[in-house]
Structure 1
Amino acid sequence: MAKYSRGMSDDSCSSDDEEEEEPPFAMKHTNTISLCCLIAYFAVGVIFLTWQQGWEVVTSLYVVVQIVTTIGYGDVTIEHGGKTFMTIYVLLGTVLVASLLDRIIQAALSNAEKGLDQSLERAEHLLKHNAHHASPRPSLPPLATAMLIYCFFVAVWVIFFALYDSCTCSFGATMVEGCNAENCSETGGTVVGWTDALYMAVITFSTVGFGDYSPQSKLGRTLASLWMILGVLSFGNLVAAVSSTLHSFRASYLKKCRMTRKVFDSVDADKSGSIDRHEFMQYILVREGKVSKETLESIENLFDLLDSDHNQALTFDEIHNQLVKVDCQ
């Protein structure tokens, strides 16, 4: 039963017109579905590549991770058919990753909303204590935390490949012919120094993936299959933190600006000489960068379209009859 109908008699709720449609299962459990799709995507890719290409599971997983993270070293490629499948598989992977990125963006927007709440609380606190000094500068811990996380993943990658994988003969399709593990560097093995390992980490986590340096050993590819995902996410988190910090500095500067008469007159839509609660709310949302003036105008236009009797108030029937019947609470 729809929530707005609770408390009413059974007879009054029996009409089909009063029953609201339940949100689709996919809308209620988007995160769970995205995770299941990602797991299924990995499984299908690993099984197919292991069977069709004759690769070991480690190599198949390593290639699938490259596809999902869009790194694409190019060190292990499709050689025995299967290109049609891989073409479709990569396209589906791009769509899947885009869906997951959407979840991340939504989380970022949620954090931004919390930031707005904190900003308003600080402003209220300052007003209550008659503080005349400027608002405090935005703190840097989020950026510092993002940098530390990114450096941690880079450091683990560098230490592993500069020490354990400093020279390898590889295996399977990328095995170096004539290479001897006991005399790796002398027999043509792939050598990775500290600078090379750092270069490989940065190029990998930025999803550039030149492919001139890439994991070669079984353990190296096993670690890389996990570390590429975490490293790419940490790099994306760092980029978002830098962008957020720059935006915060700009917003902090704008907050210090006093309201001018011109701005006041533009906010005072009804030209009453004062700003009411509704107008002040719109002003704060625009100043904080949470919505644009165009968005507010669109909302006002929607209100006017729904207000069929033009009395500047919406009844339940006016909203219920014109908007989609979905229980959003």
Structure 2
Amino acid sequence: MNSEENEETGAESSTPRKAGSSAKRVTMSGVESADTAPNTPDDKGPADEVFVLENGGDGDEDDDKPPSKLLTKIEKLVDKVERRRDNRMAVSSKARNHFVALCLQKVSELGGNRNSGIPLAELRKMRDTQKENGGQVGEIFESAVNVMEEAEGRFFYYRSFNEYYLTLEENYFRRNPSIAALAGVLAYYICSLVLFCGILGNNSTCPSTDGRPIYEGWLTAIYFASVTISTVGYGDVSFVGSGTEVWRVLIGTLYMIVAMVVAVTVFSSLSSKALEFTGSAVAPQLEPLIEKFISLEKNESLTTQLRRVWLFKIFELSVTFLLINVFGMCVAMLVMGTTKDGDEIDWSWMTAFYWAVQTTTTIGYGDLDMPFDLRWFNFLFAIIGTTFAASILGSLAELDSKLKNMRTLYIWQNREVSMQLINDMEGDGDKQLDEYEFLIGSLLTLELVQREDVEKIMDKFRDLAGMDQVIDTRDIEQHQRQLSALRISKADIEKYNAKKREEMDYWQDVDHAADENAQ
């Protein structure tokens, strides 16, 4: 086998290399490990690869290290796409909109449409003009020209560039989504206070009773906002309690819709961050124990392992749900023992637990009389408790699907090389698997993509590639010819209309002469 074949296949060269001398290659995308290293200055890899010893040693290390790997073309493509995504140019919304408007105007001047390309020469002119004007738009056009020159392209498609090479600059709230979500929830509560206590003066949602604490009104309003956004709805506070006029019912309906929008968009983001923070704080301590129960071993019965995982997840979710409600129960009993209303109502421990479960499951029958001061705790517990409970119940509902995915992944990971593997995944009948067939076959086997997804992508490929099933410069030239055939300038349209008018005038004259002769 010659040296060129070694470079293409990654096989070892005829000159032996000491055992255990792993190597890395320095590519344009960074340093990657490789199966082989050059043995002499004449053993050169591809133009973009330079092989170096992994640890800079002399190759006398022990041979216990796992073999290094040579990246496939697919992995190189993944790296390329990720680099492009990570290196997108951050621009302001105003600059991006101006850039798109200028490109669209240029395409229209050239007689094209939104899908038409701008010739590179025209793009350079636009770049020079905008750079003279200064500002971020000129920088965008400079980047566009650089991309086109690197790709050696002749036509610039601004819509693709806008999507894949530009991204909006992050403001403070985009950089800190938790702060944005917190500000949104705070705004919801403030607007609720203004609505109930400032505008409507609703005696039900913002009461003012003689002998009651001065905070009764605004605390009730906040409490009502919490049980609304958490969908608990005990029924102890009613929006239409002061009347059932049409306007009051309409405002109540709109308020419920707004509360659900806030819950789905703003509050869900905040609750997800809270769950993520809680998980990151607890997971490191429990990770060794969790891994022991949910990891799948190759030499153990798969059915037994999945049953163990199922039991562990059920136990984990049950304990978490129990702890949340026990916490709510304990605080409720503490309030019962320290308030005047609590002495009058006199809940038992079981009643307090019943109330906590009503709250976290968002059922809220409203069949219990609650101490007024319990609202101090409940306006937070109604939101936090329902968030954790919803996450737990959602995980329980997805458990069967997760176990199925674990089974599929386990079988795939432990599959050995065989003719059955080749027959299952190869698509062209050559009895061998290349990296593309293995990738697509594995994605379909793991159900990470569906047949419909592949069909849409392949339909797009056939549309772009044509009959030869390869996308190359010939397809680009054919595409430009088709666009040129469709372009009709304003001058062409006026010329066509003038010709038609001449024909109409001619035939009108003929008809007029014929009528005169007939007379």
Partner of 2:426: 268
Q: 2:265 matched to 1:99?
A: yes
**Mind listing any 5+ residue stretches in structure 1 that lack a counterpart?**
112-117, 171-180, 322-329
Q: CA separation of 1:226/1:262 partners in 2, compared to 1, >3 Å: closer, same or farther?
A: same
Letter in 2 for 1:198: F
Moved more, 273-282 or 139-148: 139-148
Partner of 1:223: 377
Given that 2:321 and 2:389 are in contact with CA atoms closer than 8 Å, whether structure 1 keeps it comes out as yes
Aligned equivalent of 1:159, options 330, 338, 341: 330
**Mind listing any 5+ residue stretches in structure 2 that lack a counterpart?**
1-84, 91-123, 129-140, 146-155, 208-216, 280-290, 480-519
Given that 1:206 and 1:232 are in contact with CA atoms closer than 8 Å, whether structure 2 keeps it comes out as yes
Q: Which has the higher relative contact order, 1 or 2, with Cα contacts under 8 A spaced 6 or more apart?
A: 1
Looking at structure 1, the residues matched to 351 and 401 of structure 2 have their Cα atoms a distance apart, in angstroms, of 34
Moved more, 59-68 or 278-287: 278-287
**What per-residue deviation string (whole Å, max 9, x for no partner) do you get for residues 198-217 of structure 1?**
22211211111111136432
Over alpha carbons, which structure has the higher Rg? 2
Partner of 2:229: 68
Partner of 1:115: none
Aligned equivalent of 2:218, options 57, 67, 89: 57
Looking at structure 2, the residues matched to 312 and 134 of structure 1 have their Cα atoms a distance apart, in angstroms, of 46
Aligned equivalent of 1:29, options 141, 157, 174: 174
Give 1:76 shift.
0.6
Trace 1:3-18 onto structure 2 (pairs within 5 A): 11=128, 13=142
Q: CA separation of 1:99/1:68 partners in 2, compared to 1, >3 Å: closer, same or farther?
A: same
**What per-residue deviation string (whole Å, max 9, x for no partner) do you get for residues 216-269 of structure 1?**
322x11111111111111112212332444333323334438699888645323
**Percent identity for Structure 1 against Structure 2:** 17
Looking at structure 2, the residues matched to 290 and 103 of structure 1 have their Cα atoms a distance apart, in angstroms, of 26
TM-score scaled by structure 2? Answer: 0.44
Given that 1:143 and 1:238 are in contact with CA atoms closer than 8 Å, whether structure 2 keeps it comes out as no
Moved more, 78-87 or 192-201: 78-87
2:362 is paired with a residue whose SS is coil
Looking at structure 1, the residues matched to 436 and 157 of structure 2 have their Cα atoms a distance apart, in angstroms, of 34
Looking at structure 2, the residues matched to 169 and 297 of structure 1 have their Cα atoms a distance apart, in angstroms, of 69
TM-score scaled by structure 1? Answer: 0.66
Given that 2:193 and 2:222 are in contact with CA atoms closer than 8 Å, whether structure 1 keeps it comes out as yes
Given that 1:137 and 1:249 are in contact with CA atoms closer than 8 Å, whether structure 2 keeps it comes out as no
Trace 1:1-329 onto structure 2 (pairs within 5 A): 11=128, 13=142, 20=162, 23=167, 29=174, 31=177, 33-51=180-198, 52-53=201-202, 54-55=206-207, 56-78=217-239, 79-80=241-242, 82-100=248-266, 103=269, 137=305, 139=309, 145-165=316-336, 184=343, 189-213=344-368, 215-218=370-373, 220-254=374-408, 255-256=410-411, 265=423, 267-307=425-465, 311-313=469-471
Letter in 1 for 2:448: K
Given that 1:168 and 1:190 are in contact with CA atoms closer than 8 Å, whether structure 2 keeps it comes out as no
Partner of 2:134: none
Looking at structure 2, the residues matched to 132 and 290 of structure 1 have their Cα atoms a distance apart, in angstroms, of 26
Moved more, 23-32 or 280-289: 23-32
1:213 is paired with a residue whose SS is coil
**What per-residue deviation string (whole Å, max 9, x for no partner) do you get for residues 75-132 of structure 1?**
1112235433221111112122222587599999xx9xxxxxx9xxx99xx9xxxx66
Partner of 1:173: none
Looking at structure 2, the residues matched to 74 and 5 of structure 1 have their Cα atoms a distance apart, in angstroms, of 52
**What per-residue deviation string (whole Å, max 9, x for no partner) do you get for residues 152-207 of structure 1?**
2211111222343269775xxxxxxxxxx7xx4xxxx4342222222221121111
**What per-residue deviation string (whole Å, max 9, x for no partner) do you get for residues 261-288 of structure 1?**
8886453233332332223223333333
Letter in 1 for 2:366: G
Give 1:17 shift.
6.7
Letter in 2 for 1:83: V
Q: CA separation of 1:132/1:24 partners in 2, compared to 1, >3 Å: closer, same or farther?
A: same
Q: How large is the RMSD of aligned CA atoms in angstroms?
A: 4.6
Q: CA separation of 1:262/1:60 partners in 2, compared to 1, >3 Å: closer, same or farther?
A: farther
2:336 is paired with a residue whose SS is coil
Given that 2:425 and 2:438 are in contact with CA atoms closer than 8 Å, whether structure 1 keeps it comes out as yes
Moved more, 85-94 or 241-250: 241-250
Looking at structure 1, the residues matched to 370 and 387 of structure 2 have their Cα atoms a distance apart, in angstroms, of 19
1:210 is paired with a residue whose SS is coil
